[in-house]
Structure 1
Amino acid sequence: MTDTAQSTTRPELIDSLVQDRADESQGPADRLVVAYCFTPYVDTSGTVMAKRVRLLGEPVDVIQNEMSSIRGIDPGVEAVAGDLIRRRAILPTQTRFSSWPSIREWCEAGEAKVDQWVADSGGTAPWRSMYSRSHFVASHYLAALVKDKHPEIEWEAEFSDPCSRDANGAVRFAAVEHDALLRRIRSIVGPLEVEPDVENVFAWAEHLVWSRADRIVFTNENQLEYMIGFIADPQLQRRARERAVVAHHPMLPPRFYELDRADQELESDRINIGYFGNFYGKQSPVDVVRGISALDKDLRRRLALHIYTNDTEKLDEYIEALDVADCVRAHPFLPFLQFLEISTRMDLLLVIDYPLAKDAEKNPFLLSKWGDYEGSGTPVWGLLEESSVLSAMNHDAIRFRTPIQQPTAAAQFLSRLARGVITI
């Protein structure tokens, strides 16, 4: 899930960000953000949540978890929303993706912090609204408990991706424990004609949102239909659909692309193509590298494919095996603001769809980097799955399209690009 460079660890920076009392001269926050992962930790979900805060443009109080045990820190990403944060609690609970004990500990600490802030406000919750986002699903658990205790707060809950299904369409499972927290969760969800998988952390996270959120945010229409289609209880499905909205991954204003220049000069005599993400996995650019390897060397010297990824050592081995070091460059992930900046200097950005999940009629995934690419002003080459949101999108930024998992199509496109048949 990470997509930028790791910097320091727990640390003075984190301690310096904790702010229990708002500066009254700045005005109070009307919105509470419950985000298990949030900046400055290096994580896509936390960065997207910060971008949501920026685009909402309202002061917020933030409750987040201390993530140093599994995530690095990028101090620069604090520029995205740091000035809008009035109070911030960084809870020192154990950090896990979905284990029930960690969710329970997070909820206990989070509720105690909310109770303290409510007491500081004279016993009345000071927030008009609340926003939570998964992944991580712990965010929705705590938000549901806050909503249950303070029903007057309007709760907006966002799903970055399907919770209870993975990218292959298989059930994502983590076991609950039959304890006081689960009893509260059952009470909050209330009686249903058809219960969820009562043993599954992810199923309960979804059902908390379906049953109590006032506004349910999906990143695309396909995801909305896919997730709501799994709701077995007809009344709950109707409720979720009535409250569902679509909001694509947010795009930051142009000034954020100018804040921190990456210390790298691009090759002026080549067409520079940028890819930012993991090299191995569902959205791998392997087919593009294989496509480049099929080109004559006189064409390859006109191209430079820059891959910013987490494991450059393995990528270097792959580059050497395919003998493409003359035109494929391996780079470590950049800090977020430097990633934004260098994306504006690339000639072409590469975006790659997830393959279609086995149980989906349409592709439910929209890449989080799409918002960043869209804001860069740089043309995009999409390796697209035919049912995806990007494939259906009529957007000027998506200048070129080839199908996923077809290295021959990628090679043909790269050949035409290098020969000047296609111009950027």
Structure 2
Amino acid sequence: MVKESELKEGISAIIPTYKGEKFISKLLDSLVNQSIDFNLFEAIFIVNGELDSTPDIIRQYQKDYPDVNIILTESEKGASNARNKGIEMASREYTIFIDDDDFISHNYLEELYRYVKPNRVVVGSFYDIDEDTGELRDSYMTPELINNSGIIENPYDTIKDAIVITQNKVLPTVNVKESSFNPELKNGVDISYYANLYPVNDFEFYVVDKDLNANYYRLWRQGSISRQDMSYDFNITDRLKVINDINEGLKKARTPEMKSFIGSLTGGQIVKINKYIEKHPEEYENVLKDIMDYDFDFFPYKYLNEDISKLNNESRELIISYAFSPTNTTTSNVVARRIMSEKKNVDVICANLDDMAKDFTLETYVHEFVVEKHVIESNFSTDWDNILNFSNEGMKVLGKYDKIYSRANFVHSHFLALEYKLKNPDTYWRAEFSDPLIYTFDERHLSPKLTDEDYINRMNEILSEKNLELINADDDINCVCEYLTFVFANEIIFTNESQKEVMTDTLRFDIEDIINEKSVISSHPILDLKYYYVKKSDYELDNSYINFAYFGVIFSNRSFEDFINAFDNLSDEYKDKVRLHIFSPNRTLFEQLLTKELLERTVFNANVDYLEFLNLTTKFDVLIVEDSYTKGHFIKNPYLPSKLSDYKGSNSAIWAICEKGSEMSKLDFEYKSHLNDYDENINVLNRIISDRTNAGIEGVKIDKDEYARQRTNQLTQKICELIEVCESEFKKDAAYEAQINELTQRIQNLEKENSEILNSNSWKMTHNLRKLGKKFK
């Protein structure tokens, strides 16, 4: 490491040059005519790459101007190699980088040197010169320099553009020598260099007053490396290399302000990437894969493939979501997806829910849209006291919003939104329901009665004023949530029409007209393809098989039986082509349900975090989604599986196994069949295999009664085996209990014997003797 005391007074000008014969005399003229004492600067020219007459021109100036310290050397090809060679040779206390096709005003070095000091960066004025016309014009960074002077209080904001170009600034050489330019970069070297220089130095920035005319003149010419024609190499490959270097700088940043500034340097790179994607949309997925391969700690996905000017709205909507990222629930993930798909900055209020599972991968990307986040201390509970606490505490911290949005599965969100709406009646309230809240299968109510008389009376006063039906203590909490939300929200969002009909039908209050007037049908949002390539999954697939994937749980009304039946009735030849991959916490249950042959061809996996799940969905041949069986429970099937929207965004084939007449059955899929339809499910599986093997498999007809009998026998045997296991465990428990009882009895007997001894006359009579014995020990 070079010490400051080892350097001479003055400025080292580092000038890489490559085939500069057409322009370099202009620069040399400006250097030999500088007003600064020639003993206070050296001009180091580094020739790199293919030669022309440039070295001869420089040598002539050395001969003609012996008093000027003009140094000529060479380096390996590339401007970065040349600058690094110049940094190595620099012998003065301060350093400036100049390009060989630019030039400087006669007083430029003198005026900048006047204001130098250790740990300070001094910046001059900056203009462009049109190569063709010679016209002087402002560059994009000229205004921020001529409108500021002296020490800049917020340089990383006020003069952001000027401080990240290579030229037009004098820097302390000791700091310059601690960094180097990346020779692997063809362009973007300035961003790369300063992204790694600034985080490790606490520089002060000084701008020379424009009236001093200390000007740097950049030659604006078509074909400059920073203005190249569009190509995958320039717009994508090189941009990602620069972003990789920015990520290295982020690791060094010590303050939030510096991290924000370094992260913002990706902006110019994203603009170039977006221009390429806009012109070549067919390359989008390849771009995403290249980004993913870097595994960046930071990448601004928010701005990728977007109209950046439309993203940062000033008036923010408030999102009320009891569970929110990083809390890992279906509800929190859907809210996050809605924010990310609507592409507007928002504020959020949620509960911390520290007792619930977390997914910190998704949090990073949804929080790109979150400006302010209010977190209420609360562990998860659906008790009324917990709901009321979330509502009361939330009202204490919220300011004024023109729009609010809330979503329930968890009713806490709607109850807080209701309180906010009652206090701020002019606020527009969007309320979304994920599923019916009052009851589920077999009309099992999902919540207890609302017994809070104070709350009931307060709400009834408001309802009375509107001539609406009153609530009472016989109403469930969820029933009250639905009713009050329908009445007071400005917009009701249902995921499907059947959900709306079921919820209207099950509500005891007759407000169908109100619901119809406010209702909007909006299925779960589908994320942009970019989010499917944020987190690369290392999950390996053997592509010699047809790989099916099922994500999620099974229960009595969603049994996976249709896939099992279809597989069982394949020929042995085609069974060997199938591999089933299950991602679920229900492994034991699946193991009991799958037949032996299917179990042998199944790979079980634990649940994965959301972003890895998205990437996984792009890898499989077919994604399986199954309806819930609701016949006899609801007038219509009100459910639309939330993962369906994730599947749709993956571009993988989907096999939807639908309940007849359900909302999912009305959608288009590459493969679709119906619950409990043996022939249809078998034929679909045959068609999948045919499509992917070109085997020309024909559909089959089976003896459904015979197969049903066999399958019933298999399941009955499984049940018998489970019963035997349970009985065996019970017997073990009984044996253990007998042993415990025996030990307990023995202990009681011993205690009784000890008690008799302690209370005996002999024990009492020998007490003094034993006491005397202890004394003489």
Match of 1:218 among 490, 494, 498: 494
Are the aligned partners of 2:431 and 2:489 in contact in 1 as well (CA < 8 Å)?
Answer: yes
Q: Is 1:308 the counterpart of 2:598 in the alignment?
A: no
Letter of the structure 1 residue corresponding to residue 332 of structure 2: G
Q: Is 1:148 the counterpart of 2:433 in the alignment?
A: no
Q: CA deviation at 1:280?
A: 3.2
Partner of 1:227: 503
Structure 1 CA distance for aligned equivalents of residues 447 and 397 of structure 2: 29
Q: CA deviation at 1:197?
A: 7.1
Instruction: Report Cα offsets for 1:261-288 as digits up to 9, x if no partner.
Output: 1120112111111111103342232432
For residues 265-284 of structure 1, the aligned pairs below 5 Å read 265-284=540-559
Match of 1:78 among 363, 366, 369: 363
Q: CA deviation at 1:307?
A: 1.1
Structure 1 CA distance for aligned equivalents of residues 678 and 402 of structure 2: 51
Q: Is 1:103 the counterpart of 2:387 in the alignment?
A: yes
SS at match of 1:102: helix
Structure 2 CA distance for aligned equivalents of residues 76 and 43 of structure 1: 13
Letter of the structure 2 residue corresponding to residue 153 of structure 1: T
Structure 2 CA distance for aligned equivalents of residues 422 and 50 of structure 1: 43
For residues 111-126 of structure 1, the aligned pairs below 5 Å read 111-114=395-398, 118=399, 125=400
Instruction: Report Cα offsets for 1:325-383 as digits up to 9, x if no partner.
Output: 33122111111111111111111111101112425332211111111111111111111
Structure 2 CA distance for aligned equivalents of residues 210 and 252 of structure 1: 28
Structure 2 CA distance for aligned equivalents of residues 196 and 245 of structure 1: 29
Match of 1:203 among 457, 474, 479: 479
Match of 2:434 among 160, 165, 169: 160
Partner of 1:244: 519
Q: Is 1:417 the counterpart of 2:703 in the alignment?
A: no
Instruction: Report Cα offsets for 1:239-296 as digits up to 9, x if no partner.
Output: 1210001001100001001101112011211111111110334223243234324444
Structure 2 CA distance for aligned equivalents of residues 28 and 180 of structure 1: 39
Are the aligned partners of 1:100 and 1:175 in contact in 2 as well (CA < 8 Å)?
Answer: no
Partner of 1:131: 405
Partner of 1:6: none
Q: Relative to structure 1, is the Cα distance of residues 315 and 386 closer, same or farther in structure 2, using a 3 angstrom cutoff?
A: closer
Q: Relative to structure 1, is the Cα distance of residues 383 and 176 closer, same or farther in structure 2, using a 3 angstrom cutoff?
A: same
Are the aligned partners of 1:40 and 1:73 in contact in 2 as well (CA < 8 Å)?
Answer: yes
Letter of the structure 2 residue corresponding to residue 95 of structure 1: F
Q: Relative to structure 1, is the Cα distance of residues 80 and 249 closer, same or farther in structure 2, using a 3 angstrom cutoff?
A: farther
Are the aligned partners of 1:300 and 1:418 in contact in 2 as well (CA < 8 Å)?
Answer: no
Are the aligned partners of 2:460 and 2:471 in contact in 1 as well (CA < 8 Å)?
Answer: no
Structure 2 CA distance for aligned equivalents of residues 155 and 253 of structure 1: 26
Q: Relative to structure 1, is the Cα distance of residues 359 and 302 closer, same or farther in structure 2, using a 3 angstrom cutoff?
A: closer
Q: Relative to structure 1, is the Cα distance of residues 39 and 407 closer, same or farther in structure 2, using a 3 angstrom cutoff?
A: farther
Q: Relative to structure 1, is the Cα distance of residues 50 and 184 closer, same or farther in structure 2, using a 3 angstrom cutoff?
A: farther
Q: Is 1:90 the counterpart of 2:375 in the alignment?
A: yes
Match of 1:404 among 667, 675, 678: 675
Letter of the structure 2 residue corresponding to residue 242 of structure 1: E
Structure 2 gaps of 5+ residues are: 1-259, 265-311, 699-777
SS at match of 2:331: helix
SS at match of 1:229: helix
Q: CA deviation at 1:179?
A: 4.1
Q: Relative to structure 1, is the Cα distance of residues 195 and 183 closer, same or farther in structure 2, using a 3 angstrom cutoff?
A: closer
Q: Which moved more, 1:267-276 or 1:166-175?
A: 166-175
Structure 1 CA distance for aligned equivalents of residues 444 and 601 of structure 2: 38
Partner of 1:325: 599
Are the aligned partners of 2:549 and 2:620 in contact in 1 as well (CA < 8 Å)?
Answer: yes
Partner of 1:55: 341
Alignment TM-score, normalising by the size of structure 2: 0.47
Are the aligned partners of 2:322 and 2:413 in contact in 1 as well (CA < 8 Å)?
Answer: yes
Are the aligned partners of 1:29 and 1:86 in contact in 2 as well (CA < 8 Å)?
Answer: no
Q: CA deviation at 1:402?
A: 1.6
Are the aligned partners of 2:456 and 2:471 in contact in 1 as well (CA < 8 Å)?
Answer: no
SS at match of 2:600: coil
Looking at secondary structure, tell me which structure has more helix per residue: 2
Q: Relative to structure 1, is the Cα distance of residues 245 and 212 closer, same or farther in structure 2, using a 3 angstrom cutoff?
A: same
Partner of 2:635: 361
Q: Relative to structure 1, is the Cα distance of residues 168 and 56 closer, same or farther in structure 2, using a 3 angstrom cutoff?
A: farther
SS at match of 2:506: coil
SS at match of 2:598: coil
Q: CA deviation at 1:316?
A: 4.0
Q: Relative to structure 1, is the Cα distance of residues 333 and 256 closer, same or farther in structure 2, using a 3 angstrom cutoff?
A: same
Q: CA deviation at 1:412?
A: 4.3
SS at match of 1:307: strand
Are the aligned partners of 2:450 and 2:473 in contact in 1 as well (CA < 8 Å)?
Answer: no
Alignment TM-score, normalising by the size of structure 1: 0.83
Q: CA deviation at 1:169?
A: 4.6
Q: Percent identity?
A: 25
The one of the two structures with greater contact order (alpha-carbon pairs below 8 A, sep at least 6) is 1
SS at match of 1:164: coil
Larger Rg: 2
Structure 2 CA distance for aligned equivalents of residues 100 and 358 of structure 1: 31
Q: Relative to structure 1, is the Cα distance of residues 260 and 407 closer, same or farther in structure 2, using a 3 angstrom cutoff?
A: farther
> How many pairs does the alignment contain?
383
Are the aligned partners of 1:64 and 1:89 in contact in 2 as well (CA < 8 Å)?
Answer: yes
Q: CA deviation at 1:177?
A: 2.4
Letter of the structure 1 residue corresponding to residue 316 of structure 2: D
Are the aligned partners of 1:349 and 1:378 in contact in 2 as well (CA < 8 Å)?
Answer: yes
Q: Relative to structure 1, is the Cα distance of residues 239 and 279 closer, same or farther in structure 2, using a 3 angstrom cutoff?
A: closer
Q: Which moved more, 1:71-80 or 1:353-362?
A: 353-362
Structure 1 CA distance for aligned equivalents of residues 445 and 391 of structure 2: 24
Partner of 2:654: 380
Structure 2 CA distance for aligned equivalents of residues 148 and 357 of structure 1: 39
Structure 1 gaps of 5+ residues are: 1-22, 119-124
Are the aligned partners of 1:210 and 1:237 in contact in 2 as well (CA < 8 Å)?
Answer: no
